[in-house]
Chains A and B, each alone.
Chain A
Amino acid sequence: MVRVVRVERSTGSIDRTRERGTMPWPLGIPAAVAVFFLLVPLVAMLVRAPWSGLTRILANSTVLDALRLSLLSASAATVASFVLGVPLAWMLARARWRGLSVLRALVTLPLVLPPVVGGVALLLAFGRNGVVGKAIYDWTGFALPFTTWGVVVAETFVAMPFLVVTVEGAFRAADQGFEEAAATLGASRMTIFRRVTLPLIGPSLVAGSVLCWARALGEFGATITFAGNNPDTQTMPIAVYLANESDTDAAIALSLVLLLVSVVVLVALRDRWLRQGPAL
C-alpha cells in the first residue's frame, strides 16, 4: 500500500508543475482584487494600531486571561468537533440511507445560521429552562450558560460543521479500492477505518481541524448569547467588542494579539502538518 501511495504522490507533483505554467492570465486580475480586498482591512488595522500605548494596554491581566480562555476553549471545541464530527462526516459520505441529504443540510445549518440565533437556539435547548437543559438542571443543579463549558458548547456548535463539510468531501474523494483491498485481506471494518481510511484522508483531517479551530477562536455571537460575559467566559472576541465600546485603541491592540496568535498557530501547523511539497 505504501508503494502505491508514493506513486500517486509523484504523479500529483507532476500535475501541479504542469498546471502552474499554464494559469490563464485573466484569472490574475480577480485574484489580485481578492488579495487586496482581504488584506486591506488588516493593513488598516496595523496602520491605525496604537503602537506607543501597546504595552500599557496589553499589560492588563484580563487580556492574558481572555487569550488563555480563547485558546483553551477553541482547542477543546476542536477536539469535541473531531471526536463527534469525523464519524458524522463518514456517515454522511458513505451511508446509503433515505433522507441522508436532508440530514446533511440540517447538521450543516450552523454554517448559515447567524451566530446570535445559534446562541438563542442553544439557550432554548441547553439553558436551565431549555428542552434538554431543564432535566439536567433539575437533576444536578448544573446549567451550561455562563460557564466555560458553555463557551466550548457554543464554539463547537458553530465550528463543527466546518470540519464535517471538509472531512466529508475527503471521505467521498478517497479511493475506496484501498479499503476493498484491506477487506479482502481480512481486515475488520473498524480496522479498515482506523488503518486505511483515516490515514488516506490525513491532510483533510488536519485542514478541517484547523478551519474548525480558527472559526472557534473568532466566535463571538453564539458565545456572548449562550455563555454571557464574566471572567470564566470572556474570550478575546468578547474582550475586543467590549473594549471597542469605550476605547478603540484597546480594541485594536487586542485584535492584533488575536491576529498574531492565529497567524503563528496557522503557519506553525501548516509547516508541520500540511507540508505537501513545493506548492506549499
Chain B
Amino acid sequence: MRRTVVTASVGLSAAALVLAGCGSSGGSGTASSSSGSSTTSGVTGTVTVFAAASLKSSFTVIGKAFEAANPGVKVTFNFGPSSGLATSIAQGNPADVFASASPTNMDSVVKASDASDPTTFAKNAMQIAVPPSNPGAITGIADLAKPGVKVARCADAVPCGKLAMTIFTKAKITVNPVDRAVDVNGVVKDVTTGEVDAGLVYVTDVLAQGAKVKGIVIPADVNASTSYPIAVLSKAPNAAGAKAFKAFVLSDTGVAALTDAGFEKP
C-alpha cells in the first residue's frame, strides 16, 4: 500500500501541470459529399475552411452545393470564434480559406501576410433572443438594463461582444451581463436552456434556432452589424480549391444560401 502512495504522489505534480493547461477547441463539421453533377473544374482534393461560428448553417449548405458542383472535392469546416481562428492561423494551423465575422480579425491575418485580398461577402446585424416563454417580459433593448433581468452577451474580445457593447452605448444603457460567453453559441445556449432572460446574438442565430428562441428586433438607429470578409490563405495547401470556394461563396448560389440564413448583402 505504501508503494501505491509513492506512485500516486509522484504522478500528482505531473497531472496538475497537465490539467492546468486544459482548454477547449472549436467544433468542426464535414459536409457530406455528393456526386452526379457533370460540371468539370480543375479543383480536386480537400478544401479546409476556417469560418466564424455564425456561418455554420449557411456554409454547411454552401459546402454541400460546392461539393455537388465539383465531384470528388471534399470541404472540411472548422467553425469557431473568428478571433480564435485568426490566432490558430497565426500559429500555423493549415487551412485554405478564412471567413471572419469581423474585419478586425481578417486584418490581423492579412497584416501577418497569411492572407491577401479579402472580399466582404455578407453583413450580419444583431437581435435580442429570448426564451419562447419570454420570462423577463423583454419588449425592447431598454429592458436589458432593468434590475433582475439576466442578460448574456459575447466576451469583450469576440466580435459579437464588441457589437453588443456598441449597441448598449448607442442605446445609452448600462447592462451587467451574467455571462460573457466565449462565442455566440454560448449566448445561444444560455437562451435555449432558459438560464438567461435575454441574449444578444446575430439575426442569423435567431433564424437558425427556429422555435427554440424568440427574436426581438433592435431598431436600426441603435443596432450594429459586422461585415464578413473571406480570403484565400497564403499558405493554403489547396490554393486552387480555396479560390474556387471563395468564388462559389460570392456566386448567386452562395448569396442565396446566405440570405436564407438571415445575412444581408454587403
Contacts and interface: CB of A to CB of B under 8 A. Distances in A.
B5 A203 contact: yes
Interface residues of A, number: 61
A16 B1 CA distance: 12
A224 B17 contact: no
A118 interface: no
Interface in A1-60: 8-9, 12, 15-16, 38, 41-42
Contacts of A170: 1, 4
Contacts of B83: 245-246
Given A169-B4, A219-B22, A228-B178, A210 B12 contact: yes
Contact of A248 (B1, B5, B87): B87
Contacts of B180: 228-230
Interface residues of B, number: 44
B8 A228 contact: no
Interface string B21-46: 11110000000000000000000000
A246 B8 CA distance: 38
Contact of A127 (B19, B21, B23, B193): B193
B141 interface: no
Interface string A108-136: 00000001100010011001110000000
Contacts of B19: 214-215, 217-218
Interface in A227-253: 228-230, 237, 240-242, 244-246, 248
Nearest to B16: A214
A12 B181 contact: no
A218 B22 contact: yes
Interface in A166-197: 166, 169-170, 173-174
A9 B8 contact: no
Contact of A217 (B16, B177, B182): B16
B186 interface: yes
A145 interface: yes
Given A229-B180, A266-B13, A280-B9, A127 B2 contact: no
B2 A12 contact: yes
Interface string A145-175: 1100000000000000000001001100110
Interface in B171-226: 176-182, 186, 189-190, 193-195
Interface string B111-144: 0000000000000000000000000000000000
A259 interface: yes
B3 A129 contact: no
A234 B84 CA distance: 19
Interface string B77-115: 000010110010001000000000000000000000000
B246 interface: no
B257 to A, nearest CB: 28
A188 B152 CA distance: 54
Contacts of A90: none
A127 B195 contact: yes
A204 B194 contact: no
- Which of B6, B8, B9, B18 is packed against the most chain A CB atoms within 10 Å? B9
B20 A218 contact: yes
Interface of B: 1-6, 8-9, 12-24, 81, 83-84, 87, 91, 150, 152, 155, 157-158, 176-182, 186, 189-190, 193-195
26 contacts: A12-B2, A12-B3, A15-B3, A16-B3, A166-B8, A203-B2, A207-B5, A207-B9, A207-B12, A211-B15, A214-B12, A217-B20, A218-B19, A218-B21, A220-B23, A221-B24, A224-B181, A230-B178, A246-B83, A263-B13, A263-B17, A266-B12, A266-B16, A267-B13, A274-B9, A276-B2
Please name the 7 residue pairs, one residue from A and one from B, whose CB atoms are nearest each other, closest first.
A228-B179, A218-B19, A214-B16, A146-B178, A246-B157, A129-B194, A203-B5
